[in-house]
Amino acid sequence: MKLSTVKPTQKKVGLALSGGGFRAALFHVGLLAQLAEFRKLKDVDTISTVSGGSIVGMIYYLHLKKWLESNDRPIQDEDYLRIVQAVESDLLTIVQKGFRIFGLRGLHKLYTMTGDELSEKLDEVFKSILNEDHYLSLNDLQIDPLYEQNKSHKIIVNTTSLNNGELWLFTSEGNGEIKQYLDEMMKVEGHHNDEPHCLTGFTVGKAVAASAAVPAFIKPVSIKKDPLNIQLVDGGILDNLGTNSLLNEGCNHLIISDGSKYLEAKPKPSNFLINVIVRTQNIFINAIIRNNLRNIDIDQEHIDMRYALPRYTRTNKELSEVNHGVNIKVQHYLSNIRTDLDSFSEVEAKSLMLLGYKFGLAEFSGMDFLRNLNRMKLTPNQDWQFKSIKQRFQNPDEDYLKELKVGEYSLFRRLRKRFARLE
């Protein structure tokens, strides 16, 4: 995908929700809460989502769509707060059960879930938000506000094509580029077809599942049109932040919520094949993230859950708090939590949300344009569910820290907690 060279003449705000499984999705909720409190959500023009960010981003987008198509009045700052509260409630419910099922499905299979299995679960979530009796197609994404002057966002779901090695984008404003590409591929193969390819039957759940289909863990999502078989996987392979899509949209102000994997230095990395594959993938993605951030020369607010974390945490025991006012051990353990779609405990989920909330507060409260009284926080004491963990988050005891520490594992967390040692 080529980046646009068109420079917009007015401010165009893009919100990037990174990949990182449920870990990132939960972190993004805390950031969305701060955006709502700081009255910034109404300024967003385009949302670009990847993997776990696509899940929470689509939940938010559909709640906004539901509100805009049901209310014949201007949307207020308080309405955005209620929308994000609904997102918080939905995600807390989802992560209690998770999407992935672990089990012995044959040692010859690396996959524990297919793209179709994930997309069906996601489709159920998405249709329930709009109270529909059918799965939502991509054509259902466009927002038609009941009050015409209300502003809606454009959403971009980033995936990666295994066919051509490029980003494949599903959007709320048509998917003509995909149709054009498929038609061109058909002609190359010698199969001329006057009837344009239609993605009407391709559901929103499939698009989001493709964005979250981490290679070696979730099978790719397919778009089949004889003789083609397009295979789509995690958009984070090429851009785990989703910033390239926003730049291509002409955005000149970026808000980046970054829940990407923390690449902690390992004195003795495992040489077990699957561990080597995962570690190599994380190194590759981490390098792309650094390169993408270096190439962004426009206004940006980068809310990074790994902020100020040292590569060798054990050699920096004197660090007790990062500049954002978060206990370094709490941040370290949360940043190491699994980037997966299996179940998360209430402690894990609310702690990740609160981390995003705290980091968002530190970022936005220091912005010059927020010094204007009209832009200050809407409701500083907003009652978010994740605030119930605040006391343990700020004054972590041993039991709390151990639960966060073993959160990096997908299996046997209760057993591991009994024998966990804090550094």
pLDDT of residue 199: 60
Instruction: Judge whether 313 and 351 are in contact, CB under 8 Å.
Output: no
User: 197 or 223: whose pLDDT is higher?
Assistant: 223
Summarize pLDDT for 359-393 with one digit per residue, the tens.
Answer: 998 888 765 444 444 445 666 567 899 999 999 99
Nearest to 258 by CA among 13, 14, 19: 19
pLDDT of residue 312: 41
Q: Provide, rounded to the nearest whole percent, the portion of the chain with pLDDT above 70.
A: 82
Q: Are strands 154-161 and 167-171 parallel, antiparallel or unpaired?
A: antiparallel
CA distance 262 to 143: 36
pLDDT of residue 113: 85
Q: Which fold has domain 13-327+342-391?
A: Cytosolic phospholipase A2 catalytic domain (3.40.1090)
Nearest to 396 by CA among 300, 307, 330, 328: 330
Instruction: Assess whether pLDDT exceeds 80 at residue 186.
Output: no
pLDDT of residue 380: 58
Q: pLDDT averaged over the chain?
A: 85
Q: Which residues are catalytic?
A: 51, 234
Tell me, yes or no, if the pTM score tops 0.75.
yes
Instruction: Assess whether pLDDT exceeds 90 at residue 250.
Output: yes
Nearest to 316 by CA among 331, 337, 338: 331
- Looking at residue 219, the DSSP 8-state letter turns out to be P
Instruction: Judge whether 364 and 370 are in contact, CB under 8 Å.
Output: yes
User: 113 or 53: whose pLDDT is higher?
Assistant: 53
Per-residue burial over 170-192, b = 16 or more CB atoms within 10 Å of its CB, e = otherwise: bbbeebeebeebbbebbeeeeee
Rg (CA), the chain: 21
CA distance 80 to 70: 14
231 pLDDT band, cuts 50/70/90, is: very high
